[in-house]
């Protein structure tokens, strides 16, 4: 079972790193773009989507989502 958890943990970690980059760049863009810029809504949506993806990864990485022994 330990061997099965390692790839999942590694993938979750790598995905969180990539999502952190997306969020960081979105926040940088949001800090530099005018409130009335037509692109702002798209950047806000990108930021929100990345945050929702982090929440999903955290759910997958929670102990409740781990396979029960014997399955």
Q: Burial of 26 by CB count in 10 Å (0-12 exposed, 13-18 middle, 19+ buried)?
A: buried
Contact indicator for 15, 57 with CB cutoff of 8 Å: yes
Would you give the end-to-end CA distance of the chain in angstroms?
10
Domain ranges of the chain: 11-62
Among 57, 61, 51, CA closest to 43: 51
Tokens, residue 54: 């982090």
pTM: 0.77
Q: What is the pLDDT of residues 16-69, one digit of tens each?
A: 999 999 999 999 999 999 999 999 999 999 999 999 999 999 998 776 765 555
The DSSP call for residue 28 is H
Q: What is the pLDDT of residue 27?
A: 98
């Amino acid at each position: 079972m330990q061997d099965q958890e390692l790839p999942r943990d590694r993938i979750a970690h790598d995905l969180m790193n990539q999502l952190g980059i997306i969020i960081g760049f979105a926040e940088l863009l949001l800090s530099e773009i005018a409130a009335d810029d037509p692109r702002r809504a798209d950047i806000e949506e990108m930021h929100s989507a990345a945050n929702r993806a982090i929440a999903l990864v955290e759910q997958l990485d929670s102990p409740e989502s781990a396979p029960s022994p014997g399955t």
